[in-house]
Amino acid sequence: MATIAKSDLGPEDKVAKGAPVITIEHLFKRFGKNVVLKDFNLTVHQEENVVVLGKSGAGKSVLIKCIIGLLKPDSGKILVFGVNVPDLSPDDLDRVRTKIGFLFQANALYDSMTVRENLEFPLRRHWINLTQQEVNQMVLEALENVGLKNTVDMMPSELSGGMLKRVALARTLILKPEIILYDEPTTGLDPVTAREIDNLILKLQKKYHTSSIVISHDMNCVKNIADRVILLLDGMCYADGTYEELENSSDEKIKQFFEP
Partner 1 sequence: MALIKDIGYFLDETGSMAKFTGYLFSHGLRPRFEVKELLAQCYTIGYKSFPLIGLTGFIMGLVLTMQLRPSLVSYGVQSELPVMVGIAIVREIGPVITALIFAGKIGSSIGAELGSMKVTEQIDAMEVSGTNPYKYLVATRVLATTLMLPVLTILGDAISLFGAYIGVNLGSVTSLHFFFTQVFQSLSFSDILPAITKTFFFGFAVGIIGCYKGFNSSKGTQGVGISANSAVVLSSVLIFIIDLLAVQFTNLLGLN
Interatomic CA distance for residues 5 and 210, integer angstroms: 16
- Candidates 119-127, 140-148, 202-210, 217-225 — which segment interacts with partner 1 by CB under 8 A? 119-127
Interatomic CA distance for residues 12 and 14, integer angstroms: 7
Nearest CB to partner 1, comparing residues 104 and 258 = 104
Q: Is residue 121 at the binding interface for partner 1, with CB under 8 A as the rule?
A: yes
Q: Give the interface size with partner 1 as a residue count (CB under 8 A).
A: 23
Q: How many other C-beta atoms lie within 10 A of the C-beta of residue 1? A: 9
Q: Is residue 31 at the binding interface for partner 1, with CB under 8 A as the rule?
A: no
Q: Site for partner 1 (CB under 8 A): which residue of 49, 51, 62, 102?
A: 102
In one-letter notation, the amino acid at residue 84 is N
Q: Site for partner 1 (CB under 8 A): which residue of 30, 38, 126, 176?
A: 126
Nearest CB to partner 1, comparing residues 68 and 226 = 68
Nearest CB to partner 1, comparing residues 97 and 228 = 97
Q: Is residue 68 at the binding interface for partner 1, with CB under 8 A as the rule?
A: yes
Number of H helices, E strands in the chain: 9, 10
Q: Site for partner 1 (CB under 8 A): which residue of 6, 26, 125, 206?
A: 125
* Angle of CA points 138, 80, 43, to nearest 5°: 115
Q: Is residue 111 at the binding interface for partner 1, with CB under 8 A as the rule?
A: yes
Residues 6+ apart with CB under 8 A from 33: none
Residues in contact with partner 1, shown as a per-residue x/- string from 133 to 172 under the rule CB under 8 A: --------------------------------------x-
Query: Contacts from 29-35 at CB under 8 Å and sequence distance 24+?
Result: 29/59, 29/62, 29/66, 29/71, 29/73, 29/74, 30/74, 35/235
Q: Is residue 98 at the binding interface for partner 1, with CB under 8 A as the rule?
A: yes
Nearest CB to partner 1, comparing residues 102 and 257 = 102
Residue 120 C-beta: closest distance to partner 1, Å: 11
Q: Is residue 187 at the binding interface for partner 1, with CB under 8 A as the rule?
A: no
Residue 34 C-beta: closest distance to partner 1, Å: 16
- Strands (DSSP E) found in 17-136: 20-31, 34-45, 49-53, 75-80, 83-84, 100-103
DSSP structural state of residue 113: S
